[in-house]
Structure 1
Amino acid sequence: MKINYAKGNDPMGLMLYLHEPAKQITPEANPVLATNMSGRDCEERAEEFRFSHDLNPRVKKTMVHFAVSLPPGETVSHDQIAQISRSLLQKTGHQDCQYLVVRHHDREHRNHVQHWHIATSAVSLKAGWVRDSFVKLKLLQIERQLEEEFRLSNHPIRPKAQRQNLSTGEYRLKERTGKPIPKEKLWDIIDRVSADPPSMTEFVARLKEEEVEVRFRQAQGMIQGISYEIDGVAFAGCKLGPAYSFGGLQAHRQIEYDPAQDQLLLLMQKMTREKCQQWLRDQEQRKKYQALYRQYWQTVLRQSETNLAEIEAERRDVIVAARSLSDIHQDETSLMIFYGDKAQKVEQQQGRRSAIVYVNQVIQQAIVFAELLMRDGTNYLKTLGNVKRSDQEHY
């Protein structure tokens, strides 16, 4: 058994990946094997995850993603998958969190590997934060425990993190020039840009910003290796040491990798240094405005007399926008809505232009809504908790 781990803050992106029809035997198949959630589709489940995240806004990386693979040829029943998944969540401390277990069939068809995914929250329904210190090292022990508990085949322990030693020729080159050689430069740069640790996409963008070229190796449609190039000299990740290979980056450096990002990673390896720098700036802006959105929504939840947790995304966007317009410039409110779950889903499914149209509609509705409340002399925050669909006649 192998368990890969990733974390992030985009429940909608993870839901769309887990429910991708191409990864099922038939597009109509229901991939969910076990859950404690009531949502019926991606959007409802993402909103349900967001509800638990709002219970503890101090947690930044709110989504947890486990990918579980069995050795080639080994299979278990759907009931066993559910049991193994619940035992895993118990051992990692997620027993009080929302979760979703989804089976994918793409790898099973290609190389007879049964695998499934578990999405859960880093915030429990009791508002507690499930800490993940040294989680990838703990997963090595949990793999062995689950193999014994469910009588599964054993996988060898992964190698310890280390650098590959310099060769005799590399030592002589370093002595002759008196300067760091390309391999040492790569060691230092990779160590520095992965210290956070970042996501895999952020890691690649930071390397490109440092003028390190990155290439991914694919096998059977999946990313399985990485190589680096600096000063015209290229190295496979494994030649730098176990901690520098594609798997080692995840196991030893805690770099977050999500297979849903494969297409972006392949695109990023061709991007220029300038485009990667712009992408990193965009990511910082995205994080800033997503945090601002959560801040305003938390304010609304605290001050509203009615439970708004189940309100649909469009109405929530209007409420958040109306609440923010009195504090920040309209352009900032537009960016905050643009980086929200609903607008990002529209952009992914219909394109950026449609997302911008959606944001403009939300802003116009928010302006009118706020003006109506002021004109009627109604307490704004109190009224937010009683917004009904019928209010749309005002818009």
Structure 2
Amino acid sequence: MRAATASDYLDKMGYTHLPYVVVRHTDTDHDHVHIVAGRFDLDKGKRVPGDWDHYKAEAAARELEVEYGLPLTVSSWYKERKPPTVGMIRHERDTGQPAVKPELQDLIDDVSNQVDSLNEFVDRLEEAGVELHVKPIGETTIGLTYHFKGLYFSASQLGRAYTLNGLRTFRGIASPQDSAAVMDWWEGRQRGQESESTEPELAQVQNEEHGQPESELEPEFPTPAQPASQNQEPTGVDPALKELEVQQRQAQEDEDQKRKAQQRRQRSRQMEL
């Protein structure tokens, strides 16, 4: 089964006509395999592209879980808080200095658990040395970017709980539901003209009639930018890549729909048995 699973995984990743080795490890409590594969397709005579391999790998793993009846897990882009990367862990180990990203996540967690409104949230962040940037992404999505210690992190890079919808859902922070109202509030705040009448109203939980929550519409892939330091993921906003992000986001949504359909078929087969 492990050999078949590894072969199916490579097929889903596009590594079809190339040499590979699968090694099983049982030296830990978690029985697992390692796959070492070439990148040159012997059939096509060219290199297999490796763009977004990390995300392709997670999508492939979710499909295999359904196909082989394995326990289902959650992809990293759906988690409330994204874990530190291997580079961050190595940086902390080698330098003894904490990575900035988890430090920012801890700070936001602490602040968001002590406030009830978006105004208070922004005020407390500024007091702690974090600058929040709010901008529209498309017609229905509001993107948040956190500036901390000279580095920029999009909300989706930190996790679902750090997006605007995530702050409402997971932290209970009141904010306008409508994207235009959010931008009106933000522009008013920027002009220094906010008052009690412009305090964000408590948002109601969005239902299916109003479409997907905004956090699910935010770009799911980190935006490449200028690397800031060894312990951070690439950040930034490149307008030239927005169209690519939209296409990748749509592709991910299509994959999610396929995965859900496969889960339904799997459950139906189990019920028949």
The TM-score with structure 1 as length reference comes to 0.27
Structure index of larger Rg = 1
Structure having the higher helix fraction is 1
